Chains A and B, each alone.
Chain A
Amino acid sequence: MKFSPEFESRFAEMLGHYPTKRSVLVPTLLYAQDEIGSLTDEVILELAERLDLTELEVRNVISYYSLLTIKPRGKYNVQVCTNIACMLVGGEELLDHCKKKLGIGHKGTTADGLFTLEEVECIGACSWAPAIQVNYDFHENLTLEKMDRVLDEYRKNETQ
């Protein structure tokens, strides 16, 4: 199992931050997922071995955290918040709009593998609602038109 040099150096550094090895697990899983695309059997086995855990212990942790996934997502994970602050100013309409535009539902992925759509809980953008995150990037104060522009921009970047 090969990770990037940045991953390896961060991993090695983090191990020195805690009295127990397994403490690095949660952030490490997220960084591993960002590189590989999802937490594959191979990643799980590798991290379990490195941290002296059983695969089951690693899977147990994965299933708890909503950002972690064992199923591959599209290149751009469009996470639309519909929690209260966003809902009051059009978060649900935004989600419906994305469903129609991308032709997929909650946790669905487009056929070209470009987009995954996800309805998520509060992302901490309440005063700038409605808001979404595409991977880790925030897009705030959205309207349906702005939403279209955001998605088109990602698609354009891809075809260039």
Chain B
Amino acid sequence: MASLVSHPDEVRVVSKRFGQGATNIDRYLELDGYKAVQKALGMQPDAIINEVKNSGLRGRGGAGFSTGMKWSFVPTQSPLPKYVLCNGDESEPGTCKDRLIFEHDPHAVIEGVMIAAIAVGSHTGYIYIRGEYRYLSIVMQKAIKDAYAKGFLGKNIFGSGYDLDIYWHGGAGAYEVGEESALMESLEGKRGIPRIRPPFPAVVGLWGGPTVINNAETLAAVPPILLGGAEWFAGLGTPKNGGTRLFCLAGNLNKPGVYELPMGYNLKKMIYDVGGGIPNGRELKAVVPGGSSTPILTANEIDVAMDFDSVAKTGSMLGSGGVVVLDDSNCIVKFALRTMKFYRHESCGWCIPCREGTDWLEKTLKRFHSGGGVKKDIDNMYYLSENMLGKTFCPLGDAAAMPTMAFVKKFRQEFEDHLDGKPCPFEKTGALAPLPVFA
């Protein structure tokens, strides 16, 4: 069980029931549970969607798309059944927030799925949880069972005449399945290979029916919005960036942990105040602001408000909320290599720029870190990454290319320090076994 932390600057919206025993349905009911969905049942679907739109809630999975807008794309009339799919395949390196939501407040996710379903006129929802989180799929299965037992799910929910079924679904280990179209493929029992878009899932999704796909944190934020009002939620954050967010502080920090902070919270303060600063008398070197696919920020770039638009202005992304902090004892080339090893491992191989690009980048970085790099490799890595951007079905190719371009651009000197057979200046044990150079 993951341990909880707290900080006075926290604003608890999604995490307010953490540590309160809310996995128990009766306890959840005591803590305002299932009130929002009953309110939603008395509202016009358009009104629900507008409320979510006006709240400024944006996708917490990483892309930051307006949730209300996404729901509004679902056609009102559809010959095929409509679905709501909760994405709990959390696997972006640096991110561990959905785990806490499932562990401490599974009913909030169920309630969020219910509201989304009512808003778009769907009668079936799925909650997809990654295979590694077995203990959480057990928690979720029980929560769903309890909700059925109370009559909150199934036929005629809350006596409203509305039928709604929600099921859990488990993965079996794949980062790419966190991407919406691959997620649907996986739920349909296939390899998680992405689908071409358009058509977008809101129009053609699961088994061809219109499908709303939202991250678990996004859906858990929906019930509080309906209860507290769009204006209140929007006011917690910055313009166009409503609410709060679970930030997963990790890496070289004194007080790592998952903290719920208002959107737009200053990154510098997040590192030095909330996260307790850098341990062992070290200095900050860089920070990955939102999971491994977001371009790295140097120590000079951290005076930034952590909302989608402000971080985008720095050339990076707010991403999934995984803030990974590096102290000055770390080698960027090695960090880039480990990042690329991950993307090479997770690339499904469907699109050639991603399959070949991640492989070549990993090989080049490995050679570099072993002291066998050649100068032109530095520009080649940048060029190769540039040519992966936007050329794949799903953003995994972009996710590998974007951080690589930032590593090369912002830490070029460090790459040059590895040239001419020099051992890695940061490695205590000397260079790795060099690989052959294809010059």
Mark each residue of chain B from 170 to 190: 1 if its CB lies under 8 Å from any CB of chain A, else 0.
111111000000000011111
Besides A26-B172, A84-B94, A136-B132, 20 other CB < 8 A contacts?
Answer: A22-B190, A23-B187, A26-B171, A30-B131, A30-B170, A64-B174, A83-B292, A85-B250, A85-B251, A87-B335, A87-B338, A88-B326, A121-B346, A124-B91, A124-B95, A124-B96, A126-B96, A128-B256, A129-B250, A137-B135
Chain A interface residues (CB < 8 Å from chain B)? 14, 17-20, 22-27, 29-30, 51, 60-61, 64-68, 82-85, 87-89, 121-129, 133, 136-138, 140
- CB proximity of B254 to chain A, nearest CB, Å: 12
Using A20-B189, A26-B171 as known contacts, say yes or no to A124 and B130 having CB atoms under 8 A apart.
Answer: yes
B95 touches A126 (CB 8 A): yes
Whether a CB of chain A sits under 8 angstroms from the CB of B77 is no
B-chain residues with CB within 8 Å of residue A127 when the two chains form the complex: 2, 96, 248-250, 256-258
Contact for B93 among A19, A23, A51, A84, CB less than 8 A: A84
B191 touches A64 (CB 8 A): yes
B2 touches A140 (CB 8 A): yes
Nearest-CB residue, chain B, relative to A121: B342
A126 touches B94 (CB 8 A): yes
Q: How many A-B residue pairs have CB under 8 A?
A: 154
Q: Which 9 A-B pairs have the closest CB atoms?
A: A67-B173, A25-B189, A22-B189, A66-B173, A65-B172, A27-B170, A136-B134, A126-B250, A64-B191
B345 touches A121 (CB 8 A): yes
Using A22-B188, A85-B250, A127-B248 as known contacts, say yes or no to A122 and B173 having CB atoms under 8 A apart.
Answer: no
- In the assembled complex, 23 residue pairs joining A and B whose CB atoms fall closer than 8 Å, in A order, are A20-B188, A26-B186, A30-B170, A65-B173, A65-B192, A68-B173, A83-B292, A84-B288, A84-B339, A85-B94, A85-B250, A85-B324, A87-B338, A88-B250, A88-B324, A88-B325, A121-B346, A122-B342, A125-B99, A126-B322, A127-B2, A127-B256, A137-B135
Whether a CB of chain A sits under 8 angstroms from the CB of B300 is no
Chain B interface residues (CB < 8 Å from chain A)? 1-3, 81, 90-96, 98-99, 126, 130-135, 165, 167, 169-175, 186-192, 207, 248-252, 256-258, 288, 292, 322, 324-327, 330, 335, 338-339, 342, 345-346, 348
B-chain residues with CB within 8 Å of residue A60 when the two chains form the complex: 191
Using A88-B324, A124-B133, A136-B134 as known contacts, say yes or no to A129 and B256 having CB atoms under 8 A apart.
Answer: yes
Using A20-B189, A84-B338, A89-B251 as known contacts, say yes or no to A128 and B96 having CB atoms under 8 A apart.
Answer: yes
A-chain residues with CB within 8 Å of residue B93 when the two chains form the complex: 83-85, 121-122, 126
Contact for B132 among A17, A87, A123, CB less than 8 A: A123
A-chain residues with CB within 8 Å of residue B189 when the two chains form the complex: 20, 22-26, 51, 61
For the complex, what is the distance from the CA of A127 to the CA of B288, rounded to whole Å?
14
For the complex, what is the distance from the CA of A122 to the CA of B169, rounded to whole Å?
20
For the complex, what is the distance from the CA of A23 to the CA of B170, rounded to whole Å?
11
A-chain residues with CB within 8 Å of residue B288 when the two chains form the complex: 84
- CB proximity of B204 to chain A, nearest CB, Å: 15
- Which of A18, A68, A140 is the most central at the interface, judged by chain B CB atoms within 10 Å of its CB? A18
- CB proximity of A106 to chain B, nearest CB, Å: 12
A-chain residues with CB within 8 Å of residue B327 when the two chains form the complex: 88
B-chain residues with CB within 8 Å of residue A61 when the two chains form the complex: 189-191
A133 touches B2 (CB 8 A): no
Using A26-B189, A83-B338 as known contacts, say yes or no to A125 and B348 having CB atoms under 8 A apart.
Answer: no
Contact for A133 among B132, B167, B345, CB less than 8 A: B132
Using A20-B188, A85-B324, A124-B91 as known contacts, say yes or no to A65 and B342 having CB atoms under 8 A apart.
Answer: no
B-chain residues with CB within 8 Å of residue A128 when the two chains form the complex: 2-3, 96, 256
